[in-house]
Amino acid sequence: MLRLFAEGEQMMSMPEITIVPDMAALSRAGTDEIVRCAKERIAARGRFTIALSGGSTPQGAHALLAQQKDLLWERIYVFFGDERHVPPDDKQSNYRAARESLLSKIPIPSENVHRIPAELDAPVAAQQYEDDLRKFFQLPPGEWPRFDLIMLGMGPDGHTASLFPNTRALNENSRWVVANRVEKLNTWRITFTFPLINHAAEILYLVAGDDKAEVLRDVLEGQKSDAYPTQRVQPVNGKLMWIIERGAARLLTQR
Ligand code: 6PG
């Protein structure tokens, strides 16, 4: 696909797209990429920072990751890219899902797991989580943290993390984490902002489901538009990788 760039529009790294036959293959490929990245970062820098995504798609990869015996979990720091505005034991909680599919099954020190305190008032939870990230990354003012890996999913409406169409968080340019009112779900979410996401060294999308095929085609092969927040995920200086299950990829023309 030839895509023309407007004057001044930054040339971004082309996404790496892998299409796999089914969910089992998606979970396997996702786990292999996480493990590859973790080993590389720990060997190079002594630690690996990862932000998990919510939703159902990554749970299979979490389960496979939990069976991985040769990872130095004491060198791995787990964060969350977004959270529903619920307590940690709620069945809607991304933290709870990750705890059940991964965190409760691995020898990771509890202080290495940074959950979003979503039981608090949403703006307070967002601020506390941003403070937690700032304390962890210890950066000079104005600098963005560089996660080694941020995992993301995409919803059928083109949302990613909890950056939904027509919501205020889409235009946040200075905060790392914000509370985002999602009227169509009549709820708040706590989410990483685009600048934080786009400063990651690697962004890994796991996407599955026939119901996402049209939006995914538009996101990956269509013109840039504000309709789909996922289109605004463009690493500033990093790798963008998509692992896509065949059903979700069925309308892609380049595969
Ligand atoms: C969340 C997620 C969200 C998710 C997509 C895809 O908290 O819901 O972070 O962005 O990744 O909605 O969800 P599924 O994997 O369940 O399709």
Quote the pLDDT of residue 123: 98
Spatial distance between the Cα atoms of 136 and 131, rounded to a whole number of angstroms: 9
Task: Please give the average per-residue pLDDT across 54-66, as a whole number.
Answer: 98
- Examine the pLDDT at 225 and tell me if it is beyond 90: no
Joined together, the tokens standing for residue 26 give: 């998606």
Spatial distance between the Cα atoms of 235 and 132, rounded to a whole number of angstroms: 23
Spatial distance between the Cα atoms of 74 and 39, rounded to a whole number of angstroms: 13
Spatial distance between the Cα atoms of 147 and 134, rounded to a whole number of angstroms: 12
CA of residue 173 to ligand 1 center, whole Å: 22
Quote the pLDDT of residue 13: 67
Q: Is 22 helix (H, G, I), strand (E, B) or coil?
A: coil
Spatial distance between the Cα atoms of 42 and 45, rounded to a whole number of angstroms: 5
For CA atoms 133, 134, 139, 142, the dihedral sign is positive
By most ligand atoms within 8 Å of CB, the mutation choice from 23, 52, 53 for ligand 1 is 53
Closest CA to 101 of 41, 51, 57: 57
Q: Which of ligand 1's atoms lies nearest the C-alpha of 53?
A: 9
CA of residue 33 to ligand 1 center, whole Å: 19
Task: Please give the average per-residue pLDDT across 152-158, as a whole number.
Answer: 98
Nearest Cα residue to atom 14 of ligand 1: 55
Task: Please give the average per-residue pLDDT across 72-80, as a whole number.
Answer: 98
Quote the pLDDT of residue 98: 98
Task: Please give the average per-residue pLDDT across 62-89, as a whole number.
Answer: 97
Closest CA to 85 of 134, 51, 57, 126: 126
- Examine the pLDDT at 1 and tell me if it is beyond 50: no
CA of residue 58 to ligand 1 center, whole Å: 9
Spatial distance between the Cα atoms of 223 and 3, rounded to a whole number of angstroms: 8
Q: Which of ligand 1's atoms lies nearest the C-alpha of 163?
A: 10
Q: HSE (CB half, 13 Å, CA atoms) of 72?
A: 13
Quote the pLDDT of residue 127: 98
Quote the pLDDT of residue 14: 83
User: Which residues does a 6 A CB cutoff place in the pocket of ligand 1?
Assistant: 53-57, 82, 84, 94, 153-155, 159-162, 209
Are 88 and 118 in contact by the 8 Å Cβ rule? The answer is yes
Dump pLDDT digits (tens) for 107-122: 999 999 999 999 999 9
Closest CA to 53 of 147, 169, 127, 187: 147
Kindly report the CA angle at 189 between 183 and 195, in degrees rounded to 5? 110
Dump pLDDT digits (tens) for 21-56: 999 999 999 999 999 999 999 999 999 999 999 999
- Examine the pLDDT at 230 and tell me if it is beyond 50: yes
By most ligand atoms within 8 Å of CB, the mutation choice from 52, 62, 82 for ligand 1 is 82
Nearest Cα residue to atom 13 of ligand 1: 55
Quote the pLDDT of residue 6: 47
Per-residue pLDDT band for 226 (boundaries 50, 70, 90) equals confident
By most ligand atoms within 8 Å of CB, the mutation choice from 57, 115, 242 for ligand 1 is 57
According to DSSP, the residues that pair with 242 across neighbouring strands are 17, 205
- Examine the pLDDT at 174 and tell me if it is beyond 80: yes
Tell me the helix, strand and coil percentages in the chain, rounded to 5. 40, 20, 40
Joined together, the tokens standing for residue 119 give: 């039981």
CA of residue 23 to ligand 1 center, whole Å: 15
Burial (CB count <10 Å: 0-12, 13-18, 19+), residue 35:
middle
CA of residue 46 to ligand 1 center, whole Å: 30
